[in-house]
Amino acid sequence: DTAVSQTPKYLVTQMGNDKSIKCEQNLGHDTMYWYKQDSKKFLKIMFSYNNKELIINETVPNRFSPKSPDKAHLNLHINSLELGDSAVYFCASSQGGLAGVNEQFFGPGTRLTVL
Amino acid sequence: GNSVTQMEGPVTLSEEAFLTINCTYTATGYPSLFWYVQYPGEGLQLLLKATKADDKGSNKGFEATYRKETTSFHLEKGSVQVSDSAVYFCALTPNTGGFKTIFGAGTRLFVKA
């Protein structure tokens, strides 16, 4: 009965490869997010989708492309991986845009290592 | 713009010590305020929240009070345990709605037995 799940948990790959991370939530939420957490634990938002529509697109290289096939899924595809992409990537979901209910539920994270 | 500033870590305490992690914010109006906790190897999870001035959020012995006059939301616990060792994030969501939560940089807490 996991609320927000991500696969894979660990991803080790070579520079230049293309990889995808998948995220699913079973909370019935309208909004999903991707965050990148660096080695110092700093959390940076990358993208957000609301009802399958892209609503937040921070300054992220266009090698990163999110895709939301439905409200319960938000996947992240990364082309031409670089060393600097190594980080932990977190998926999250929330009910929506009202400030008081914007508690976010996070997945367990995907640790990406680019060699 | 909106921002959150929290004290730098790491914070190292002995078991049963008193904990304070300072958090101040910059925002227009009355944002909602949150503390999230991240245990080793896990994602963030909500610890407590407050949605209006003078509200006190509390959970698992942790407390934080929404202080509009000082734009602060400091996290406190009277007696920490080794199991409280984690990274703590202060965060806000603007009251204009929207979908973007602003997170602080995180404060790592180590509790020694």
From A89, which residue of chain B is nearest by alpha-carbon distance? B43
A84 contact B CB<8A: no
Per-residue pLDDT averaged across B64-69, rounded?
96
Per-residue pLDDT averaged across B19-35, rounded?
93
Residue B64 φ then ψ, to 5°: -155, 140
The answer to whether the CB atoms of B42 and A109 lie below 8 A apart is yes
Cα torsion angle, B98, B103, B104, B107, sign: positive
Confidence of residue B98 (pLDDT cuts 50, 70, 90): low
Per-residue DSSP letter, A20: E
Tens digit of each residue's pLDDT (9 = 90 or more) over A41-96: 999 999 988 888 888 888 789 999 999 999 999 999 999 999 999 999 999 999 86
Cα torsion angle, B105, B88, B35, B57, sign: negative
Confidence of residue B97 (pLDDT cuts 50, 70, 90): low
d(CA A39, CA A92): 19
Q: How many CB pairs under 8 A join A and B?
A: 65
The answer to whether the CB atoms of A92 and B45 lie below 8 A apart is no
A55 contact B CB<8A: yes
On the question of pLDDT at A99 being above 70, the answer is no
The answer to whether the CB atoms of B46 and A103 lie below 8 A apart is yes
Name the one residue in this structure whose structure tokens are 């942790």. Answer: B62
SS3 A55: strand
The answer to whether the CB atoms of A108 and B43 lie below 8 A apart is yes
The answer to whether the CB atoms of A42 and B106 lie below 8 A apart is yes
SS3 B73: coil
Mean pLDDT of chain A: 91
Checking DSSP bridges between strand B107-112 and strand B11-14, what pairing results, if any? parallel
From the list B43, B94, B96, the residue facing A90 with the nearest CB is B43
Mean pLDDT of chain B: 94
The answer to whether the CB atoms of A97 and B99 lie below 8 A apart is yes
Share of chain A above pLDDT 90, in %: 75
**Closest Cα of chain A to B42: distance in Å?**
5
Tens digit of each residue's pLDDT (9 = 90 or more) over A34-48: 999 999 999 999 998
